[in-house]
Structure formats: C-alpha cells, structure tokens
Structure 1
Amino acid sequence: MSLLSTSKPVVLLFAGQGTSTVGMGADLWDINHTTRSIWDCASDITGKDLRRLCLKGPMNRLVQTSVQQIAVSVINTTLYTLWCEAATGVDIVGSCGHSVGEYSALYAAGILSLEDMFRAVHYRAELMDELSKCYKGSMLAVKSLDYASLSALIADSDLPLEISCDNSNQQQVIGGVPQLLNEFVPLLLQQGCSSIKLGVSGAWHTALMSEGVEPMAQFLRGLQFNQPRHQVLMNVTAQPASDADTIRRNLSLHLTHTVKWTDSMTHFLQAETPCQFVEISNKAYLTHLLHDYPMYKPDNGVHCRQLLSRMA
C-alpha cells in the first residue's frame, strides 16, 4: 500500500536554484545504493565533488550557478527517486520544474535519461556561468505585484529590466544589471512593494543570456529525447510538449525567456479533475507559492519530505 494516501491525480513540482544552503542534501546521498549511484553519476559527469560542496560550501561557491544548478538537480532527482519508492501506485498526470528544475521534470517524465539530464544541466550551468562573467547581472524577488502591474512599472521607469519569473499574482522576479536594479528599488518602495536580492550569480531568463541560446540548442541536438510518460509543462510556453524538437527549442529559449509559472500552475489548478501537488525540493518553496492562487485548496499541496519522514 502506498504511503501517499490520495485518490487524486498527482502533479510533481521540481524546484530551481535560489534557495541553496550549506549542508543541503547531506541526509540524502548515503541512504542506499540507489541514492549513492545518483550522486556518483552527477559527480562523474561534472567532475565536481558534489557531496563536499553541498556539505561544506563555502556559500560563495555554492551559489555559483556552475555548482548550484547541478546540486539542485541531484537533490531533486534523489528525492524524486525516494518518493517514487514510497508512493507506489500513484497516478502522476503531470510535472513542471521551475527554471533548472524543468530538467528534473523531464527526467521524471522519462523524456531524458539520468545521465543526459545531468549532462544537459552541467552544460547549461557552465554556459550561463561564463555568460554571467561577461554580462554582470543580478535578480530581485518582488512581492505584492502581478505580472501586468510590474511590467507596466518597468515600462514607465524606462529602465532595461526584465521579468525573469512570473511566480504568482503576488510574486515576480526581475533581472538585469545590478546598478539598474538598485535604481528600480525606490520605485518599488513607492508602490509599497518589498524586494529581496536572490542568491544567484547572474540575471537568468533575460537578454543578458542571449549568446547562450544557439550553443544550448546545438548541445541539446546531441541528446536523446523520449516520449513522455506524463504531461510536462514547459516554462517558456506554459504548455505541454512531447515533440523532441519543440522541447529542445523551449529549453534553449529558456535562457532568455520568462518562466511562466503562474500560467503553468493555473493550467493544473483549472483541470477538470482536482490534483494533488507534490513538491520535490530540498525545502518547501513552490507549495508556498500555490497559496497565492485563489482556486488553490491548502490540503492539495504537500512537500515530498512530509511523505519521506513517515518512512524514517
């Protein structure tokens, strides 16, 4: 019998970067042979000692995207594998990953193999890290504004900033040159909005990453994309994709386009049959965002660790 008691279809949500902490994943890598093999696979492909980096940092190294993206992905994958062992017989109808978490969602759907998923994330992370050194950028999380309102405020400011992530009708993330973001903060304060600088090393999902789109596309052409076991909503379109070329194109444009998380969650929340959201991440974040949606019922979201804690 499954440890997850639900008759509802399940939608898996995979976290992206931005919430890293020293020590993350330390409780996961040595649980059994399967978890050890996942961490070994990621370390072999990247050439990084991920156990040591996650355990000891230092933090300024851990937040570098070349480390953080693969660290997030290996934690997501490990938790997903453990969750699957506990939640047998569950009807998974969809998955969606926030930013780099999209690669974990593709793996969960069987579109990418474990090895190819880590290869893609490693290439993406190294590429974005190099671009961030050439085109300095930063990101701010903005509370109490929806996408349309923030877009209008940016347009009125005449500052070349972009909305990187449309997370909910109460939270957006903007990216751009640090000096320009600093100039924009007083305008946010005038609107009664708070902002938090994110622990990332570049302005992801903005034009500052434009030079990476074609190299990313070329790299992805060398990977095999399989037919999905369940629906995967892509960040760039907030629509499901199953065609390999479409998925490759979306993943490439992902570097410069807004993460349409609000539209993706609305898609699932408006489904004819209510679903159970399960967040796969080191710590809860995406399930908290669901509370910003009027149609969301609080008992329809759970973090994977709540299930796994019952196994201990």
Structure 2
Amino acid sequence: MYKLAFLFPGQGSQYIGMGKALWEEFNAAKLTFAEANDALGYDITKICFEGGVRELNRHEHMLPAILTVSVAAFRVYLEEIGIEPAFLAGHSLGEYSALTCAGALPFADAIRLVRKRSLLAASVRSGAMSVLNGVMKEQVSEACRLFSTEKEAIALACDNGRDQFVISGHAAGVQRVEDYFLEQSMQVTPLLTTPPFHSPLMAHAATELEAELNKLSFRPLQYAVIANVTGRPYEGAERIVPYLTRQLTDTVQWTKTIDFLQEQGVELVVEMGPQAVLTNLVTANTTIEAMSYGQREDRLQLRERLAAPAFDPHVPTVVTRCLAMAVATRNRNKDADAYRQGVIVTYDQLERLQGELEAARRFPSEVEMRQALEWLSQIMRTKGVPEEEEKRRIEKVLSDTGMTERLSDIFSKEETAC
C-alpha cells in the first residue's frame, strides 16, 4: 500500500473550464459547486465554466474558485478510491483547502473566509509579486536585502524549490529585483494584478484576517496538515488562527514541506486541484511520484492503481468485528443508567454505521474504523472490562481484519491521552 500525501494548489492553477469535467461526471462535484454558490451568494460555477479570464482572475473569484475545485476533487477521490492520506499540504490558498478537507472547518465557512481574505489582500495597494526561476535562495535573499528600502520592503514570499522562488513587496522594489536578475539573464515572471501576499505589506490585512479567523470555531484535524509558515504538521487546531494569520506576511516554506514528506517516507503525492502546478514542483525537486487528480489521465491511472476492492458483505471489517466483540463481552456493571448510555446507545451508533456502509456497499474508511474502535473501547469500559483484557480484544479485532499495521498507533495515542 502506498503512503500518500495530498497537495492543494494556490493561485496560478485557475483556467476557464476548471472543474467542469468533474462536475459533469460526479455528483459529489455537483454538490460541492452548488454548496459554493449558496455560501457565496453568487454563481461561482458559471464563473469557473463560462466566465471571462478577467472575471475569473479577480482574486475574490479566483481563490474561492480554486478552493471549490480542490474540495470537489478531494470528495470525488474519497468516493471513487477512498484510500486515505498520511498528510495534507497546501500552497498559500491551498492551506485553506487542506484544512477544510481535514475537517477543521465546514466548506461553506472556508469559502466565505477565503473570499474575505481575498478582499482584504486586494485592499493593499502599490504591491507586486514576481516568480524567479534558475536562481539560488541565497541570491534571492541578498537581492531582497540589497534593493529594499525603509519605505519599499521586498520579501521572499515563497520558497518553492531548489531554483524557484517568489518575491513580494512594494512594486518599485520588486521591479528593481526583477531588473537585477534580468540583467543576469535569469527567468523572471511578474504576477500581474496580484496583491503582495506573504510580505510585510500585508501586516494590516493580517490583523483584520485574524479577527475574522477568531469568529470561527475550528475542529480537530482528521489528517495531519502541514503549515506553510513552519513546513511541519500543525500541533493541533489551536494553531490554525496564529499560523494562518502569519501566513499572510511570512514565507511559504514549500521546500521544507516537500522535504518533510520525503523524510516521512511518502511514496506518492496527489494534487487535488485544477492543474498540475504542485505536481510539477514535486517532480522537479524530489524522487516522490506525483500525479494530479484534476487531470483525467492521472485520475484514471490512480483509480486503477489505488481503488479499493469490490464490496463483499461477507468480508469481516473493523466495524463488523467491533459489533461482534461488543456482544461477546461479559458485562460486570450493574448500574442500569451507565449501561444504557455507555453500551446500548453506543452499540446503536455502531449498528447505524454498519447499516450506512452496507447501504453504500463500501468498506469503512480509516476515520470510520477508528471511530468504531473508540465506541468498542467505550462499551468495554462501561461493562467493566479490565484494561489489559480490553487491549487484547482490540488487538484481536485488528488481527482478524488485517489492520494491525495500519492502525498500530491507536494504543500509543490512548497512552498519550492518559
């Protein structure tokens, strides 16, 4: 089984017609676009499929549109293939997509937040961004230092790879850096009509964004998400507000992010977005295999390689074994109220989950398996099962279903929680 990571792109991935193939083929994508329209109060679907380039490239449209396509791709993938990732990582805007798909906040809240972020950024005037290729990080850092002035700051906005960097800051200063590298025959690509993301010019917008972030409630992450500002996984949902606030003014540490994935033994990354921007960056800078779920050929190949086996109701799963183990466990608790709440109600939840799986004719996801094990643990604790016996019974469930290795961390998490 591959160790997977999903990548979510930022600006530069957009094009007219993006997401339309997913929308035409998959109901999950249709529902995602409809949800986006409702949350925004206007037809982002039409802008994606039929709008003009200028309209799509307005940041208050572009960034919510990319978020929508990314979330749609993720949802389609889970329905079509379902093998869950070890890590999620997003580039700039893509960090919002990653957090949304990790369950940190509802999609409707995320798309409204991203539009607000876009409007706050657009209010920053006299800024510019530019992509530099074929240069070294030390050269870029030195040029930013050399050509910055007290009133015209320039910053390293994105560290994208060995020889690709993005600078951001006051337009006049950015142009000086561009001219400097053009004189050395370096490749320079100005990002037209783009606010100066990831630079000190965004300090006031970051303060306003922090206020917007504090209005939301963030839930625990279902997957490990790598933060742009650290290049390492979030320590918990409590870090979302400070990290996303810093992201507007700090460097996107993409090289650190990809290096971390390689260190963790990730074998395959799948880009969840319209094009293959991050896929190409990974291929250029690492030995990790990279594919884009937004590209039909890659999508078909991924389905062939990763698709789960056909559903068979007779194959034991973690959920069915949890049900059986719950029934087979002797009760030592004479408290009727505790038994009703901790055993009967919890067992009903397990049965409902199994009914949903059978109706959908699919095997449980990793999240569902972990939930089933948590419910079984609650049932056994309520029945008064000793801790060592509870552990043996859960190990038996994992052994019977071939999930010992995949869910091997469940006991260490329980010990840490204690």
**TM-score normalised by the chain length of structure 1:** 0.89
1:60 aligns to 2:61 (yes or no): no
1:127 paired residue number: 120
1:86 aligns to 2:77 (yes or no): no
2:268 paired residue number: 276
State whether residues 64 and 201 of structure 1, in contact with CA within 8 Å, keep that contact through their aligned partners in structure 2: no
State whether residues 235 and 259 of structure 1, in contact with CA within 8 Å, keep that contact through their aligned partners in structure 2: yes
1:206 paired residue number: 199
> How do residues 123-272 of structure 1 correspond to structure 2 at under 5 angstroms?
123-129=116-122, 131-132=123-124, 135-158=125-148, 160-271=153-264
Q: Is the partner of 2:21 in helix, strand or coil?
A: coil
Partner Cα distance (1:181, 1:218) in 2: 29
Q: Which moved more, 1:221-230 or 1:192-201?
A: 192-201
Kindly report structure 1 stretches of 4+ aligned residues shifted beyond 3 Å: 30-33, 309-312
Partner Cα distance (1:308, 1:157) in 2: 45
Q: Is the partner of 2:145 in helix, strand or coil?
A: helix
1:112 aligns to 2:142 (yes or no): no
C-alpha deviations, 1:237-260, integer Å up to 9, x for none? 112114233111111111111111
1:4 paired residue number: none
- Structure 1 residue 235, shift from structure 2 partner: 0.5
Q: Is the partner of 2:144 in helix, strand or coil?
A: helix
Partner Cα distance (2:32, 2:192) in 1: 25
Ranked by relative contact order (alpha carbons within 8 Å, sequence separation 6 or more), the top structure is: 1
2:403 paired residue number: none
Partner Cα distance (1:182, 1:207) in 2: 17
- Structure 1 residue 91, shift from structure 2 partner: 4.0
1:29 paired residue number: 23
Q: CA RMSD in A?
A: 2.0
1:308 paired residue number: 299
State whether residues 227 and 242 of structure 1, in contact with CA within 8 Å, keep that contact through their aligned partners in structure 2: no
Partner Cα distance (1:24, 1:256) in 2: 29
Q: Describe the shift of the 1:192–1:287 C-alpha distance in structure 2 as closer, same or farther (beyond 3 A).
A: same
**TM-score normalised by the chain length of structure 2:** 0.67
Larger radius of gyration: 2
Q: Which moved more, 1:280-289 or 1:42-51?
A: 42-51
Partner Cα distance (1:292, 1:35) in 2: 30
State whether residues 9 and 91 of structure 1, in contact with CA within 8 Å, keep that contact through their aligned partners in structure 2: no
Partner Cα distance (2:199, 2:209) in 1: 15
Letter paired with 1:239: R
Letter paired with 2:12: G
Partner Cα distance (2:114, 2:272) in 1: 17
Letter paired with 1:303: S
- Structure 1 residue 201, shift from structure 2 partner: 2.6
- Structure 1 residue 196, shift from structure 2 partner: 0.8
User: What count of residue pairs does the alignment treat as equivalent?
Assistant: 298
- Which residues of structure 2 form unaligned runs of 5+? 305-418
